[in-house]
Amino acid sequence: MNYYVRATGNNRYAGGSERWLKIRKIKRYGYGYVLGVRINGQDKFVAIRKNGPTENLEFAMGTWPNLQPVTYKNVIEGLNEHSK
């Protein structure tokens, strides 16, 4: 299953894109996770807290363009299962 992240609100242009970006990597880091995406041929990263809100981020899963909204907890669980 593919998972995607999109910046909203104040983060919309900070990372270089407001499009849905495929999450390519997940790494446990301190009190949260770092998600890896690729924008214009460059690897970029976004950090999310394990039990905190993910303001200004939206998550989805599925195949493009038929994405279904999910919570960040679904993304973490799904990507952790996939990486085993």
Q: Is the pLDDT reported for residue 84 higher than 70? A: no
Q: Give Cβ neighbours of residue 41 (< 8 Å, ≥ 6 apart).
A: none
Q: What percent of the chain stands above pLDDT 90?
A: 21
- What's the predicted TM-score (pTM) here? 0.83
Task: Tell me what pLDDT residue 79 has.
Answer: 76
End-to-end CA distance of the chain: 14
Q: What is the pLDDT of residues 26-76, one digit of tens each?
A: 888 888 899 999 888 889 888 888 777 677 889 999 998 899 999 988 888
Which residues span the domain enclosing 56? 3-82
Structurally, the chain folds into a number of domains equal to: 1
